[in-house]
Amino acid sequence: MDEEMNDLHAFLIEKGVPKKLLPTLIKISNDSLTPIMEGYKNDNNECFYLCVCTSGHSIGVSQWKWAHSGWVMRVRGKNIIFSKHKREINITEIPVFKNIIFVASKRIQANEFAQ
């Protein structure tokens, strides 16, 4: 996997999402991650990718502000849908990747099904 490819992009390409529709991800270092992730402990210099799904709502943590990934998370019935245009994936179908963190709006975080 090259520098531009990560686990989430590889998964989405496998699901048939064209490269031009892949979410924009923000690469951050472990040093930057620690203040964002309360209680997160990791001693190595790993890099992580943030996928920001704001669904049109602003989002940030203290001094951190992020651009939108181009994809949104919406609650539809009892499902959380990760989508862009007509491309839709139920969030439960996405494997847990050690290097990807999804940042969602408080509206999504507060939803019972999303929790």
Q: Domain limits of the chain? A: 7-109
Query: Contact, 8 vs 94, CB < 8 A?
Result: yes
Helix, strand, coil percentages (3-state) for the chain, rounded to 5, are 20, 30, 50
Buried b (16+ CB within 10 A) or exposed e, 32-59: ebeeeeeeeeeeeeeebbbbbbbbeeeb
pLDDT of 4 > 80? The answer is no
- As a residue count, the chain comes to 115
- pLDDT digits over 41-81, tens only? 555 666 777 777 765 555 655 566 666 777 888 888 888 88
pLDDT of 1 > 50? The answer is no
Predicted pLDDT of residue 58: 56
Predicted pLDDT of residue 25: 83
Predicted pLDDT of residue 57: 55
Predicted pLDDT of residue 53: 75
Predicted pLDDT of residue 18: 92
pLDDT of 11 > 90? The answer is yes
- pLDDT digits over 81-115, tens only? 888 888 999 988 999 888 887 777 777 777 776 66
